[in-house]
Structure 1
């Protein structure tokens, strides 16, 4: 189609109708064309089993089950009538989101206008294999992924990876093919478990106490001013139960802390404890 056809030859209305039929039915350069007649005065074909067309003065019809959608001098176009028109503001007639979050079922997206489809409250667990794709009809005949991982989808592209846990709003522009996944909520922290931190040989002077500090916020994130004071329950052994995240690797150390006095750190490498999924555990170190 050339600009002169559209504006100068009085074909704007007919061309708009044909463009609408093509968009509504998702026809594109890779659509399957089944040529059913090719004669001197007649060419007829069925495209993607959804649109039938004929060009030329010869008579031809696709038969029952088809609806005449457009016609003019020496041409006619039929549709099966099974594809609904696109909603106002979008080009495609529908859009589904399919991925590991729904076992690749078909979650219906909503046209928000300006060619943008949206689905809210999509929850991913953070697995390394979590992924999704966009599917126009929910049958994989016209789906979009992102082989290049550049934020712009391609027809029949690769699955889109999303490995950060959380609940997302996912949008897809069916004109530019850009997509976004915006995290709206983060998953709750893992449940806490009790760790009995024990520091042995913690001999102290007046005003001095034994603390524990470590790599997680519950242990001050290595900030001595936020360290946890232990109790001299069996002096010079000090201990305290501290609630920390479950299933977490924690590095920690014993300290001797007193006002206006340099902190005395336990020597050697950091102590390490990996917390269980539930219950409690004891972590012991010594000065």
Structure 2
């Protein structure tokens, strides 16, 4: 696999693919953070999570078109507005879905899987009807174009650096919300013992609704980041849902640290293997490695010490 490459060539390849893997890592982290909150904290298998990501991507695309047409002087900063709008739109849709659909299916994981799978098909058709079947791409501001010349044969794209910075900020905010805020204490109390949390005055239904909305909102931000590395289409979210579940399960369903470590290892392995092999073979090898590790450690890389009590 490495024959025909000099040591300098391999070094450049690993560095470039490593950074390309960091861009994929950013999308994996943002997607997995939202899914880890929903699946790990609530036990809901949300198969429509990819469609919430694509909603954020379409909101970013629409925001870019609006600024380009009506506020061209402010186009350079439209992406920051798009991120906020993507979070709000995805979170509001998530809150509505939880209230109308998910709330009636708690403790029925198979039913939530089927219901959210049906929801994903409905959302895909809605996107296809509203935006058309073809993929669309966003226009990036001038300051996000180009790359940093790191070394010979090694260029680091500026938009990739921005996506990594965005991921770091969102991860820190999410960690603070879950582990430091008063609302995060309520979330963890509901996870630990729902009847006792309700008995001490915590509105568990409101906690569930806001938790689901937060997870979907983070998926919307992942959609904004996704527009920088790929085009947006009605079914684009389904390309990432399997990898996202793999990241969450491999890292440990209730561990944010495990989610980060899992997303990094999976994205780096896929990115590097894709250079030397086909994309499908890279996914197969990565999956086999993850399955092998899970056979030895089924609780994931970082198992949570929280034990659910009914």
TM over 0.5: no
- Relative to its length, the structure with more helix (as a share) is 2
- Whichever of the two has the greater Rg, that structure is 1
TM range (shorter): under 0.3
TM-score (norm 1): 0.25
- Relative to its length, the structure with more strand (as a share) is 1
TM-score (norm 2): 0.23
